[in-house]
Amino acid sequence: MSSKLDLSKEFTGRRALVTGGSRGIGATIAQRLLDGGAEVVVAARSRSDVTPAAATFISGDVSTSEGAKAIAAEALAALGGLDILVNNAGGSRVFAGGVSTIPDEEWHDTFALNLLSAVRLTNAVLPALRASKAAAVVNISSTAATMPFGPTAHYGAAKAALDAYSRTLAVELAPDGIRVNVVTPGPISTPGADELRKTFPGISSDAWLQYLPLGRIGTTDDIAEVVALLASDRGRWLTGVNYRVDGGMTAR
């Protein structure tokens, strides 16, 4: 009998919700879970041409309390329960003038999207996760959480808070058999991220490579495969860990 893993079946019978799942990293994560046999709901403000066709799409704004509750209710109704939650929704604007130029409302909005969305949605689906026999939460962070950069200080602070929240949640939910882990992407090539990096003051597109020991910008598949590990039975003894998938960027 072969001991080789059949990754096309590892999520059979599992139900997953991926926020920010209509494009970019989120869409690839959703597709990876679908390829593994999961039933998947993706939530985002709008569809895109790369939104996985086999996933159930929910339109909503996870950055508000009402939006998070509505998405949770609709996802649970569609899936009949939940085994995997991927809090991927996030982002921010860049302020070239640095920390002192970021207005108060931008701090509030960025924390709502990058931290409170995960807190609210996790709380809303927690009863369903507790009822699961294979519950896993994966929160998507950013290298900005540990690498000071004034133009995105608000984003880095929100992601740092997400990291701290995730560690605490992992300890608190471990007795319920719910695993909580973080994936921290480095620079990833997506249409949106590629355009955003062009707005970073003093850093050209080619200059990013000097920060990456492995010598290339990451792909969405690089992130999705680590999420799949953490959400699957392969990661059954992993919780409270932050996996930096960044080409060695934070190893320097």
Q: Which amino acids are annotated catalytic?
A: 155
Instruction: Return the residue matching tokens 């996790």.
Output: 122
155, 144 contact by CB (below 8 A): yes
List, in order, residues 6 or more apart from 36 with CB less than 8 Å away: 7, 8, 9, 10, 11, 12, 14, 228, 232
Give the CA dihedral 212, 214, 218, 221, nearest 10 degrees.
Answer: -150
Q: Is the dihedral of CA 48, 65, 67, 82 positive or negative?
A: positive
User: How many CB atoms lie under 10 A from the CB of residue 37?
Assistant: 15
- Radius of gyration of the chain, Cα coordinates, nearest whole angstrom: 18
Q: What is the C-alpha to C-alpha distance for residues 163 and 158, in angstroms, rounded to an integer?
A: 9
Q: What is the C-alpha to C-alpha distance for residues 203 and 199, in angstroms, rounded to an integer?
A: 8
Helix axes 117-131, 65-79, angle to 10 degrees: 30
Instruction: Return the residue matching tokens 């597709």.
Output: 31
User: How far is residue 86 from each of residues 33, 60, 68, measured CA to CA in Å?
Assistant: 11, 16, 13
Q: At 38, is the secondary structure helix, strand, or coil? A: coil
Kindly state the tokens that stand for 149.
Answer: 């950069």
